[in-house]
Amino acid sequence: MRAFFAIVKLTFRHAVRSHIFQLLLGVLLLCIALIPTTVINSSAADFLRSALFYSLWTVSAVLGLSAMWLGCYVMTCDIDSYQLHMVVSKPVSRVVIWCGKWVGVCAVNLLLLVLASAAVYFIILWRFDNLEFQPGEKERMRSEVLVGRRAFSADRPDYGEAVRELARRRIGRLAAQGKTVDTNMQDKIIKDAQLEVVSADSEVKAGQIKSWHFSGIPSVPNQSLFLRYRPYINKVSSEDQRQTRLLWSVGIPRERKTPQDGTLAAKRAKTFDIYLYPFDDKPDQVMTGAFYEKELKPEWKPVSSDGQVFLTVANYDHLGGTLFFQPADGPRLLVPATGFAGNYSRAVLVIGLELALLAALSCAFGGIVSMPVAVFMVVSYLLFGAFSVYMVNLEYVGTAADRFGQLVGKMLLKVVIPLQNFDVSSVIADGVLVEWSWIGGLVLNMIVLRALPLVLLGIFLYRKRELGLIIRK
């Protein structure tokens, strides 16, 4: 273990002396000092969300570049300068050397992560406490943003049967017209039918009411729930959005008293009468395309004894437009689960896992090829992950090139790692809880199943690499 810790210490010292690392360190310090202190918004919500989002995203991006660069640098520098030739002549395994260098790179970046995230945390809270906002805004932000809230989505119907039935009707109609429906056309018909079914379930026409049902909601005494949603008008697009009016109502459950026959099933069975109460006396006027939140106060008792919540929205658009509520944009119920410090610490942990992953991949590539090639391979690997996510999430796949790209994207996602999965800046900015189960899923799916085999292959090739063949002029 003495050799291992010596390698960690030397790697730490060597990494700090790197000029590129010193440049990235200066950029990090500049971002920490400027972003939280220069964000100026008219409301407490805009200030908090902007400062948290951009600060955490910048810390993650800068330290990610640092981890990638240092991982490639420390592995190739000793080989290029022939220092490693002397080390391997000692009774030290190359596996120990590799692990020591990786731990050294992680130690540098994790130390900076802790210091940077702590600075961001205290600077943002200090500015939030000292800035002047509208009365009541700070209290509202402490319950909406400076908290960790567990998100619950509404129960959705199974779209599969409706999509298949609509696709069968359209294919039958084309066949009756004497048109040949090949495999590519069938795929397009099914895709269009799926979009139409989901869109129809998400729309609320003018003058109509749509209801949502939530299940599994915990009921905590004296604790508010929060409704979060984003509406669109006429089409799901950021363009041509405008002011509209809508009215939310909550269904207050009241248990119905029914005669019992004495059986256990009858004693357990509970039925409820749902009484709708509007949140406000008149419809809200909102700008579509943006997120909004509404509070469900605890004295309303909106959660039934079996954890159900009922919500409705009425479309009062003055121009007769149709509202759309995408499943990804809500409505969702947010239930406070932990404080801001605990949730923020979980986010920092996720960023730390991302840095350790980037350092491991960089060390794996840096141990088998030269410095420029190693950097190129790591960047290409990460770009493949981003490309795969983009292709798989395409809403419309029309041409053969689109279908081929989507197929390639799905195959790549089995082995590559999209770094978007580690982004927690928007989650913290919205006050959403970083779940331990989600962190465990990242460790298992991204690190253990995808990254670990590639890292082990890199260690194996590094161990078998013939250093006598490496000659630098």
| In contact, 109 and 66? CB cutoff 8 Å | yes
- The 10 Å Cβ neighbour count of residue 439 is 16
CB distance 130 to 37 below 8 Å? no
pLDDT reported for residue 121 = 92
The pLDDT of residue 263 is 46
241 contact partners, CB below 8 Å, separation of at least 6: 232, 233, 287, 288, 289
Positive or negative CA dihedral for 33, 34, 35, 39? positive
CB-count burial class (<10 Å; 0-12, 13-18, 19+) for 196: middle
Structure tokens at 109: 């970046």
Largest CA distance in the chain: 93
Instruction: Give the Cα separation of 146 and 340 in Å (integer).
Output: 5
Nearest alpha carbon to residue 233 among 287, 179, 153, 295: 287
Backbone dihedral angles phi then psi of residue 251, each to the nearest 5 degrees: -90, 115
pTM: 0.81
Q: Residue 127: its pLDDT value, please?
A: 87
Q: Give the whole-angstrom CA distance, residue 338 versus residue 274.
A: 30
Amino acid present at 466? E
137: left (phi over 0), alpha (psi -120 to 50) or beta: alpha
pLDDT (0 to 100) of residue 448: 92
Which one-letter amino acid corresponds to residue 225? Answer: L
Q: Closest Cα to residue 58, out of 95, 28, 98?
A: 28
Question: Along the chain (473 residues), what's the average pLDDT of each consecutive run of 10 residues?
Answer: 83 82 84 78 80 90 90 81 62 84 92 92 89 81 86 81 77 77 71 74 88 86 87 83 92 71 47 84 90 87 86 92 85 89 94 94 88 88 79 59 70 80 89 91 91 91 71 53
Residue-range domain boundaries for the chain: 2-149+343-469, 155-204, 207-330
How many other CB atoms are there within 10 angstroms of residue 297's CB atom?
A: 13
Q: Which among 293, 332, 312, 319 is positioned nearest to 247, based on CA atoms?
A: 312
* Cβ 425 vs Cβ 53: under 8 Å: yes
Contacts 24+ apart (CB under 8 A), 76-79: 76/366, 76/369, 76/370, 76/371, 76/374, 77/14, 77/371, 79/467, 79/470
Distances (CA, A) of 121 to 56, 116, 335: 10, 9, 23
pLDDT of residue 268: 45
How much is the pLDDT for 266? 43
- DSSP characters for 88-127? TTSS--HHHHHHHHHHHHHHHHHHHHHHHHHHHHHHHHHH
